[in-house]
Amino acid sequence: MLRAGLGRRSRCCGGLWRSPCPAAASGSARALSAASASPSPGSGGGARSGDAPPAGASNVKPLDGVKILDLTRILAGPFATMNLGDLGAEVIKVERPGAGDDTRAWGPPFAGTESVYFLSVNRNKKSIAINMKDSKGVKLIKELAAASDVFVENFVPGKLAEMGLGYEDIKKIAPHIVYCSITGYGQTGPVVQRGGYDSIAAAVSGLMHITGHEDGEPVRAGVAMTDLATGLYTYGAIMAGLLQRYKTGKGLHIDCNLLSTQVACLTHVAANYLNCKIEAKRWGTAHGSIVPYQAFKTKDGYIVVGAGNDHQFVTVCKILNLPEVSKDSRYKTNTLRVQNRKELIDILSTRFSEKATTEWLQLFEGHGVPYGPINNMQQVFSDPQVLHNGLVMEMNHPTAGRIAVPERH
């Protein structure tokens, strides 16, 4: 829910930040000064002015001057705030004294002593360790919030309110704040006190039910897609919140949660059930409503081919030298191909198995049919288009040395 402008703030230092500062364990003033860069002239607390950057400033990012207080851990929240940091926001990440974010211990692998998992979603941030169970720590959080534009947290509903750091508490000292809560299930309801992890939400939401081989067991996606999707929803909601605040001059409360995100992302699978009472099933790499649209085994690997319309299907048949298949009355339309899926896929699979992946890639090139190989990581990061798009960010880390992480471009 959205309960809202953009302000001038000190810019965020780039790169990945150090481990939580032990000096901050009791919530000291020294820790506050270490985590907060000096504000720009005339940018005191309270509602933001929305001043525009100087004309002709070619290196200004969209969120330059926006300060984000980040109390999130694990993946959904850190992924959202990392993306906001990529756009220029100054992100101050609050962690537990000593242990820090749980993902600091998630490994191997490690880069030096740093968890690679942690490094992958925490660039463009500054770290401060604050004991929020201590009254001094709570006071520090409030001081930071008063000087921030955005407050992001992913505690169980009601937990921060018990500490005096809930939305209503922060709103009193920072009426301009865009306060975003990320939870497993939402702010109200019968199961909101349960902890929320990606795999659990993927199970409850039905994503695992529709993922895996057709006759196999439910499968978790290779990366935490529910967390990542929630992070992207959060990222967009915060951007919208900042825009709303720019228009109204008022702060707001944003509610994001894993369950709602994943149910929304069921899209046509959910619509099939809601409108036609068709229970979903697993299709492996195939698609329930489009044929052919799946991976095919080649002599030495796999190729994925998708024929989204009848013209593309005819083209696929030409490439495979199967003109009689495109003329077969059983396969003339996509609806018919779905109805006669098994027979058609058997024919296509036999033909694909006759050549190596690279041979098929060459034959499909330039014909207007979507296709591609199933790549491993080495192949992904040597792919010409991945290299051209600049999807790897390299940087120097103070303890891990030179590291590389994926980035959107």
Closest to 69 in 3D by CA, of 93, 33, 34: 93
DSSP letters of 145-157?
HHT-SEEEE-PPT
Tokens of 161: 């309110």
- Measured in whole angstroms, the distance separating CA 89 from the mean position of its chain's CA atoms is 17
For 385, other C-beta atoms within 10 Å of its C-beta total: 8
Residue 182 and residue 256 in contact, taking contact as beta carbons nearer than 8 Å: yes
189 contact partners, CB below 8 Å, separation of at least 6: none
DSSP letters of 97-116?
TTT-SGGGG--S-EETTEEH
Closest to 180 in 3D by CA, of 237, 108, 227, 140: 237
What's phi and psi for 117, nearest 5 deg?
-55, -50
Query: How would you class 229 by CB atoms within 10 Å of its CB: exposed for 0-12, middle for 13-18, buried for 19 or more?
Result: buried
Closest to 257 in 3D by CA, of 249, 267, 265: 265
Q: Would strands 125-129 and 90-95 be described as parallel, antiparallel, or unpaired?
A: parallel
Give the C-alpha separation, 234 to 26, whole Å: 30
- DSSP classification of residue 2: B
Q: Would strands 90-95 and 302-306 be described as parallel, antiparallel, or unpaired?
A: unpaired
Tokens of 346: 């058997």
Measured in residues, the chain has a length of 409
- DSSP classification of residue 285: T
Q: Which residue's entry shows tokens 């939400």?
A: 201
Q: Would strands 114-115 and 110-111 be described as parallel, antiparallel, or unpaired?
A: antiparallel
Q: Is 169 among the residues known to form the active site?
A: no
Task: Using alpha carbons, list the distances in angstroms from residue 389 to 120, 121, 394.
Answer: 18, 20, 14
DSSP letters of 355-398?
S-HHHHHHHHTTSS--EEE---HHHHTT-HHHHHHT-EEEEEET
Query: Pick the catalytic residue: 64, 227, 255, 300?
Result: 227
Which residues are catalytically annotated? 227
